[in-house]
Amino acid sequence: MTSNQAGTYIAITQWLPFFMALKMPLRGFINLLQFQNCILNLAADSSMDILLTHGYFLYDDPKEQAIMKPYPTLGLLYISAYLKQKNFAVEIFDSTFAEKKQFADLLVTKKPKLVGIYSNLMTKFNALEMIRRAKAQNCIVIVGGPDPPYYAEQYLDFGADVVVIGEGEETLQELIPLLSLGKLDQLATVAGIAFKDERGEIQRTPARDLLPNLDVLPLPDRAAIDLQKYVDVWRRHHGMGAVSLITSRGCPYSCTWCSHSVYGKTLRKRSAALVADEVEGILATYHPDMLWYADDVFNINHKWFFEYAAELKRRNLKIPFECICRADRMNEEIVRTLKEMGCFRVWIGSESGSQRLLDAMKRGVKAEQVQAMTRLAKRHGIETGMFLMWGFEDENRDDVEMTIEHVKKANPDLVLTTVSYPIKGTEYYNRMAGQNIVVPNGAWHNSNDRDHRIRERHSKRYYDFVNRWMHNELALTRLQENGRNGLLRRAKARVQAEISKLGMALTAKQKEA
């Protein structure tokens, strides 16, 4: 123990009788003691202001290994670049291709003062383990991302010291100096966080305003990680090396099942010229074969969209890419321009073919628009993908049949389906919870929002048969549209569709909870 550490320890023990005289709860004193232990650790290594990391360990996830389409966490790369611009010493532990032991070893060898962990639905369990490991090394732990804001109390109880709610750049800029200097009494001055005070009570500060101008942000700190590994994995498994980027933050739509916990509902676009600069840099540095625009919706702002297309054309930049678009923001000119820009695949949010359910979701789109724009994109030679959601609220057999007919009319190239799950903080969750039909599947630290069950909803087995029915009906449609004889293939698809409907009938009374 250094002299500074010893002095702090003596100070704590000397103040113990005072805290007892104030009748401070034992838990509150323990929290303070644990936090002071973290402060003791600050003297161990002053070369790093913060270690940023996330919980996505590709090689620990069999499902992700089967897909092998990893992308880095752009949010962390933006935060790293921003903090470095403000003269903070930042390192990133990129867990994607690493092992958990490497993180544990890094904590021991580097002794970071502060550890910032990004957590979402998919990575929550790994993030919790990383919190535990960081606390074992007396690090101060900050958590952020989509999952912590609505579970701040649980993350704090598990060991996190601060939960960042919303965008993290400015929040961390203010937090790092306070935490590094042990100015815990000033945490309440930082907007957009939750923490425990000296009595162990959770305090939430006022929400932080969203960044109004994204152009003030530096480009993501891709140099801080081995991005070439991502490109190589994509190229090895899919024949095309890919790099992701984002042109905006926030989504102005109000889909009831969608979370806006980080970037909010205010659409903010980066300037077309700055995004084109980023694309030029990506192509020159990493030489990918394709790009993924990770925006919630790429085609919301038509004025920006055409400005960006013109900027790419002016610079003679054209590379294959895929993106997500809304059908109600697509038209002939948009689709034609997408093709000219290099778009080879467009994903269209559909969710359902039942207009009743689409309206309940507040999607703001008509099923017929999705069908028309899917076929329009295909006519322009753009591959189409569609997202579907089964089991939303009071979906019934008629809704399922309408959705399958909808898919057949649209005839997308790819269909991704999920059974709806209520994410805490969304209107969908609040409505289901208000009816007391959301059933947690175990303790919080052993489950996530995707594990929630809905009382009286059909079982997952039932929806497996729904999926099989839909895919076989779509296969029949494709065979018919392609004009192939394929009598045997048609017969097989028809038999499989009927078997799927039989399976639905046999499992119709099985309930999820």
Q: For residue 480, give both structure tokens.
A: 């018919």
Which candidate, 252, 180, 178, 248, places its Cα nearest to that of 217? 248
What pLDDT does residue 306 have?
A: 98
Tokens representing residue 154 in the block: 């649980």
Residues 6+ apart with CB under 8 A from 502: none
Domain boundaries, the chain: 3-204, 226-420, 458-513
Residue with tokens 């923001």: 329
Instruction: Identify how many contiguous H helices and E strands the chain contains and give both numbers.
Output: 18, 17
CB 78 within 8 A of CB 215: no
The count of other CB atoms within 10 Å of the CB of residue 284 is 8
Q: What is the pLDDT along the chain (513 residues), one digit of tens a residue?
A: 333 333 333 333 344 443 344 444 444 444 544 555 554 454 445 589 999 999 999 999 999 999 999 999 999 999 999 999 999 999 999 999 999 999 999 999 999 999 999 999 999 999 999 999 999 999 999 999 999 999 999 999 999 999 999 999 999 999 999 999 999 899 999 999 999 999 999 999 999 999 999 999 999 999 999 999 999 999 999 999 999 999 999 999 999 999 999 999 999 999 999 999 999 999 999 999 999 999 999 999 999 999 999 999 999 999 999 999 999 999 999 999 999 999 999 999 999 999 999 999 999 999 999 999 999 999 999 999 999 999 999 999 999 999 999 999 999 999 999 999 999 999 999 999 999 999 999 999 999 999 999 999 999 999 999 999 999 999 999 998 877 667 888 999 999 999 999 999 999 999 999
Q: What is the pLDDT of residue 485?
A: 64
Q: Which one is the CATH code of 3-204: 3.40.50.460, 3.40.710.10, 3.40.50.280, 2.20.28.90? A: 3.40.50.280
Structure pTM? Answer: 0.90
Nearest to 58 by CA among 123, 102, 119: 123
- Fold entry, domain 226-420: TIM Barrel (3.20.20)
Q: Are 507 and 461 in contact (CB under 8 A)?
A: yes
| Cα dihedral 24/25/27/32 (nearest 10) | -10
Contacts of 282-285 with C-beta under 8 Å, sequence gap 24+, read: 282/222, 282/243, 282/245, 283/317, 283/319, 285/222
Task: Using alpha carbons, select from 188, 179, 183, 177 the residue that is nearest to residue 160.
Answer: 179
CA distance 311 to 275: 9
Query: Whole-angstrom Cα distance, residue 77 to residue 225?
Result: 9
CB-based contacts of 390: which residues, under 8 Å, 6+ apart?
Answer: 400, 417, 418, 419, 420, 463, 466, 467
Would you give the DSSP letter of residue 194?
A: E
Calculate the dihedral angle through the C-alpha atoms of 181, 184, 185, 189, rounding to the nearest 10 degrees.
90
Give the pairing of strands 438-439 and 453-454.
antiparallel
